Amino acid sequence: MLGAFARFGLRAKSSAQCITSFSSFTARWQSTKRETCFGDIFDSDPLTGKQPQPAPSQNTPGGGDDNVYLQEALQHVDIDAALEQFLLRPQREIHVELVITMDNGEVESFNAYRVQHNNFRGPYKGGYRLAPDVDMQEMRRLASLMTWKTSVMNIPFGGAKGGICCEPKLLSQRELERLTRKLVQHTRTMMGPYIDIPGPEISAGSRMMSWLFDEYSKYKRFSPACVTGKPVDLHGSHGREYATGRGAVLATRELLLHAHAGKIAHKDFIIQGFGNVGAWAAEMLHVRGGRVLCVSDRDGAIHNEQGLDIHALRRHLNAVPPFGGSLLSFPGGTKISHDEMFSMPCDVFIPAATSNAINETVAKQLNCNFVVEAANGPTTPAGDAVLRDRGIIVCPDIYASGGGVAVSWLEWVQNLQNFRWEEEEVNRKMDRLMTDALDPVWKLHEQKHVPLRTAAFVYALENVIKVAKARGYGG
């Protein structure tokens, strides 16, 4: 049995640590040591009748790289110590065991986590990811990041993040569906259109969001606004598929404009990561006249000094092998290593892959004027310090990757009112959100003489602090 757990990415030392009774689940709540209006009292487990126990106290919940940036930003805002600690700590943490029957008849258990960081400005908002390295600490970090991202984008949401510890490539569609529905069954009292609104993240696409919506509606009636990222035919929004990639391109446009560096046309770009976000960003930069010199995936990178034909590359990736399907087999580019990609000259480098991709070593290699963070947390604090010393301007992830949550909010608004905007209207509204968000951040950047990332966190903190005080917290 332990071998099966290892197969699905569960880190366990014994079967006793892995296997729970079918009826049990554990929830952990990070106490704020104050009664609040946020619904932080858990319902009892409907199957056992027992109340979940609070999590042990920790010194730095929600800690991580974003906490380093937050601590720096806190030096530039007026906030009392009590409210500061309240904003740094998550309001609720949930850990459930999802027990399902596999296609082969065996019973397996999977750990699922959800961290609800802050909802001063609106319902919790954040995606679910499926990955073998999902754990509570990572969810704390990403939930905190969502709080500041929605605040920078001036969207009336709070921050949350969740995940299921599994290897999705080893699960069938039926198994993934059972896992998703079981997740809703355990967490339905802690989610909903006005409580916590999940969305798609790594390996969790529109199909999983459809299952979430369907299962939740069984208990709460028709509720399309309970989740975003649904297919357009199932109450989803136009423009959601490419929203994060398009948002990164709009962020690039605004960054170049504010820095008096010209337009996207005739600029040279390198994109690390050619998944959904990177591919859409590359295509839209290509359409706007930018030259995408190099793109990469986990296996390597391809380069064309005249600029890659992005349309041809995407057709190649969609083709059936041996006619396509692999980035490195694309005939319109030359294979190079990741190190060669990092040191290649360009105007803008766009990390659109995983967290912590730009560490101190990579930051010393980069040969660009700007970095636009289309991924979540792609730059480590050590890497960020190197980029600052070298004078490379970084457009931070809490703004540059905000296109996805912007269109998620537009989908939520449409669902609440049971109507749908046309694609042009969604794109126009998103364009306005991305344009308006950078103006106050750039103003703080110039007034306080701080890096753009620090300015973004200062602006996000100020927005949350104002709402917190208006609601009676922090004096």
Which residues are catalytic, by number?
161
Q: What are phi and psi of 247, to 5 degrees?
A: -60, -40
The answer for residues whose C-beta is within 8 angstroms of residue 206's C-beta and 6 or more apart is 200, 229, 230, 231, 236, 241
Task: Quote the CA–CA distance of 143 and 305 in Å, as a whole number.
Answer: 39
Helix (H, G, I), strand (E, B) or coil at 376: coil
The answer for residues whose C-beta is within 8 angstroms of residue 16's C-beta and 6 or more apart is none
CA distances from 135 to 57, 161, 178, 184, 359 (A): 17, 11, 21, 19, 22
Q: Are 92 and 29 in contact (CB under 8 A)?
A: yes
Task: Quote the CA–CA distance of 158 and 146 in Å, as a whole number.
Answer: 7
Long-range contacts at 81-88 (CB < 8 A, ≥ 24 apart): 82/474, 83/465, 83/468, 83/469, 83/473, 83/474, 83/475, 86/32, 86/34, 86/468, 86/473, 86/474, 87/118, 87/461, 87/464, 87/465, 87/468, 88/60, 88/61, 88/62, 88/144
Q: What are phi and psi of 291, to 5 degrees?
A: -100, 115
Q: Of 273, 242, 248, 70, which Cα lies nearest the Cα of 159?
A: 70
Helix (H, G, I), strand (E, B) or coil at 54: coil
Task: Quote the CA–CA distance of 220 and 353 in Å, as a whole number.
Answer: 36
Q: Which residues is 95 bridged to in the sheet?
A: 113
Q: Which amino acid is at 462?
A: E
Is the bond preceding residue 378 a cis peptide, omega within 30 degrees? no
Q: Are 165 and 135 in contact (CB under 8 A)?
A: yes
- What end-to-end distance do the CA atoms of the chain give, in Å? 55
Q: Are 230 and 258 in contact (CB under 8 A)?
A: no
347 CB burial (10 A radius; 0-12, 13-18, 19+): buried
